[in-house]
Chain A
Amino acid sequence: MSTIQETDTLAVTQVLGAPKESAWRNFISQFFRNKAAVVGAIIIAFYVFIAIFAPLLAPYDPYEIQLENKLQSPSIEHWMGTDDKGRDILSRILYGSRLSMGVGFAAVAFGAFFGILFGLIAGYYGKWVDSLIMRCMDVLLAFPGILLALAIISALGPGMINVTIAVGAFSVPLFARIVRGSTLEVKKLEYVDAIRSLGAKDRTIIFRHILPNILSPIIVQGTLRIATAILSAAGLSFLGLGAQPPSSEWGTMLSGGRDFLFSAPYIAIFPGMAIAILVLGFNIFGDGLRDALDPRMKN
C-alpha cells in the first residue's frame, strides 16, 4: 500500500511528467537493450567519421586521372581497385560519403522543415485550415515515390541541389501527417489550455510548448527518411539526373561502373555496398529509436 507521500509524489509526477533525467535514462536503457539499434548507431558513426576525415583517410586523390592504372582489380595498392580512368575506388567512396550523406541529411531537413510547419499549423488551427493543408498533402502523396522528384527535376534541371529539393519535397507530406496527428493529441492537454489562459500567443504555444513535446515521432521519422532519401538521391544520380561526373557521389560511381559490369564488376559492387550498409545502419537505428522513444509506433 502506498503512503500519502508516495501518492503525492506520483500525482506530481503525473502532472509534470517524469523528470527529464529519468526519461533520458529510460530512453538510453531501452535503446542499448536493442543490440541491432546499437549496431546501426555504430555504422552511422563510422560513416560520419569517414566523411569528416576523408582527406586524411583516402590513400589517393579521388579525382586524379591516371590512365596507366585504369581498370585494376582490387590489390594491396588499390584495395577496391581502380575505375576506367585509373582513379582509386576506395578514395572515391570515402569522399563520396560526404556527398551521399550530405544530400540525405539536407533533403530530410528540407522535408522536415516544411512538413513540421504544415503539420503544426494544420493540427493546431484545425477546421478549414487543417482540411486545406491535409488535402494538399494527400495530393502530394498521390504521386508514386520518385516520380514527383522526377517531375521537379524535369522543371528545375539535373544537379545535386535540385535533387535535394526534389527528394525533400516528397518527404513533406509524411512529416506533415505525423506532426499533425501528434499536435492534435498534445493540444488537448491541460497544460496547453493553461498556457493559453495566461495569454500566450499562438506562435509561442505552437513552437515553444507543442513542438518540443512532439519531437520523438519527428526524430524517428527523420532517421528512417534519411535512409530513403540517400537511396532516392543515389538512384537519381544513377540515372544521370543528380550529381554529374566526375563527382564521386555513390550513385554516379555506380552508373559509371555499369558499362564495365562484364570486365570490372568491382567498380559497381563497392559503391553499391557502401550505400546498402549505410542505409541498413539508418534503418536499424531508426527502428531502435522508434522502439525506445515511441513504443506506440512499434508493430
Chain B
Amino acid sequence: MIWFIIKRLMQTVPVIIGVTIVVFVIMQLVPGDPAVLLAGEGATKETIEALREQLGLHQPLYVQYFDYVSNLLRGDMGFSLKNNQPVLQEIMTRLPITLELAIFSTLITIVLGMLAGIISAIRPYSILDTVVMVVALLGISLPSFWFGLMLMYSFSVKLHIFPVAGWDSMLHVVLPAFTLGAGGAAIVARMTRSSMLEVIRQDYIRTARAKGVKERVIIYKHALRNALIPVITVVGLQFGALLGGTVLVESIFAINGLGRMIVDAIRMRDLPVVQGGVLVASLVFVVVNLIVDILYRLFNKRIELN
C-alpha cells in the first residue's frame, strides 16, 4: 500500500507541472503587451519599460516559466491589478468558503445519490425505480444556474424558509449546496443502481440466498459493500465538476468564494487573480483525485491481488 501511495504521488508530480504549464501558456495568449495591461491605461513609456524589466518579460518564454514556477514555490502569485493585494492572500480568504460549499455539496451528492440508487436497485423495473430514474435523468439535465434560481424563488422569495444570498449561517448553506449537489446525486444514483444490479446477479449473492440469508442482510451487507466500490470513483470525478460548478452557484447566491473571485477577476481583466484562482482550484482537484485513488485502492483489495 505504501508503495502504491508513493507511486501515485510520483505520478501526480508531472500532472501538477503540466497544470502550471497550461495556466502559464493560456496567459501568454492574452492579446497585446502584458506590461501595458498591468501598468494600466495612461502609463508612461518609462513605467511600462520598468515593469517589463521587473517582470522579466524581455526574457525567453522558458525563462519566464521557470521564474513563474520558482515564484509559485515561494508562495508568490503576484499582485491583484484591482487592489494591489497579494493574490495568494486573496485566494486563502476565499478558498475555505468554496471548500466548505464543495464538501456540503459532496455530502448531498453521496447521501442522496446512494439512497436513490439503492431504492431503485432493490425493486428494479418497479414504478418507484422508474420515478427515481426519471428524476435522476432530470437532475442531470437541469442547468444548475437555473435550478439555483428556481430554488431561490421557491424557498427564499415565496416561502421565506432560507435566506436569498450570502454565507453567514447554516441556513445560507442549504440552497447553494443542494443546487450544486443535486446534479452529482443524479449521476451517483444511476451509478449505484447499475452497480448494485450487477452485484446482485453475482454467484455469491445467489449462494447467500440459497443458504437462506435474509434479503436485508444480502442487500446491505453483501451487495452494497461491493457495489459501492465503483461509486467512489464517480464521487471523486464529480468533485471536479462540483468545483467548476461553484463558479456559477457562488455567483447566483452571492457567495464570496474562489469561483466568484475568478469570474469577477475575468470581468475586470485582473489576470494574476484569474491565473492564481484557476491554478489553485485545479491543484485542489488533483489532490482530491489522488485521495480518491488511494481510497479506491483501500476499499478494493481485488486490485491488489491482480
In the complex, whether A10 has a CB less than 8 A from a CB of chain B is no
Q: When the two chains form the complex, which single residue of B141, B195, B275 contacts A227, counting CB atoms closer than 8 Å? A: B141
Contact assessment for B137 and A238 in the assembled complex, using a CB-CB cutoff below 8 Å: no
Contact assessment for B29 and A155 in the assembled complex, using a CB-CB cutoff below 8 Å: yes
Contact assessment for B247 and A239 in the assembled complex, using a CB-CB cutoff below 8 Å: yes
A231 to B142, CA, bound (A): 8
Instruction: Find residues 122-181 in chain A having any chain B CB closer than 8 Å to their own CB.
Output: 135-136, 138-140, 142-148, 150-158
Q: Which residues of B contact A283 (CB under 8 A)?
A: 137, 140-141
Binds B, one of A22-30, A208-216, A273-281: A273-281
Contact assessment for B243 and A147 in the assembled complex, using a CB-CB cutoff below 8 Å: yes
Contact assessment for B145 and A138 in the assembled complex, using a CB-CB cutoff below 8 Å: no
In the complex, whether A59 has a CB less than 8 A from a CB of chain B is no
B145, B191, B239, B247 interface centre (most CB from chain A within 10 Å): B145
- Interface size class on chain A is 35 or more
8 closest Cβ contacts across the A-B interface?
A145-B244, A139-B18, A272-B146, A280-B141, A144-B243, A144-B240, A146-B244, A155-B29
State the main secondary structure of chain B at its contact with A.
Answer: helix
Instruction: Find residues 219-255 in chain B having any chain A CB closer than 8 Å to their own CB.
Output: 239-245, 247-248, 251-252
Give 21 pairs: A residue, B residue, CB < 8 Å, sorted on A. Answer: A139-B18, A139-B21, A140-B22, A142-B19, A142-B285, A142-B286, A144-B242, A144-B243, A144-B244, A145-B240, A145-B244, A152-B29, A155-B29, A155-B30, A156-B31, A251-B143, A271-B146, A272-B146, A272-B150, A276-B143, A284-B137
Instruction: Find residues 30-62 in chain B having any chain A CB closer than 8 Å to their own CB.
Output: 30-31
Chain B: minimal CB distance from A166 (Å): 10
Q: Which residues of B contact A275 (CB under 8 A)?
A: 143, 146
A257 to B19, CA, bound (A): 36
Contact assessment for A142 and B282 in the assembled complex, using a CB-CB cutoff below 8 Å: yes
What 13 new A-B contacts, CB under 8 Å, besides A155-B29, A251-B143? A138-B15, A139-B19, A142-B19, A142-B286, A150-B266, A152-B26, A154-B266, A155-B26, A155-B27, A241-B263, A261-B152, A276-B142, A279-B141
Chain B: minimal CB distance from A94 (Å): 18
In the complex, whether B14 has a CB less than 8 A from a CB of chain A is yes
Contact assessment for A135 and B14 in the assembled complex, using a CB-CB cutoff below 8 Å: yes
In the complex, whether A240 has a CB less than 8 A from a CB of chain B is yes
Q: When the two chains form the complex, which single residue of B22, B191, B271 contacts A154, counting CB atoms closer than 8 Å? A: B271
Contact assessment for A240 and B267 in the assembled complex, using a CB-CB cutoff below 8 Å: yes
B245, B265, B278 interface centre (most CB from chain A within 10 Å): B278
Chain A: minimal CB distance from B286 (Å): 5
In the complex, whether A299 has a CB less than 8 A from a CB of chain B is yes
A268 to B148, CA, bound (A): 11
Q: Which residues of B contact A284 (CB under 8 A)?
A: 137
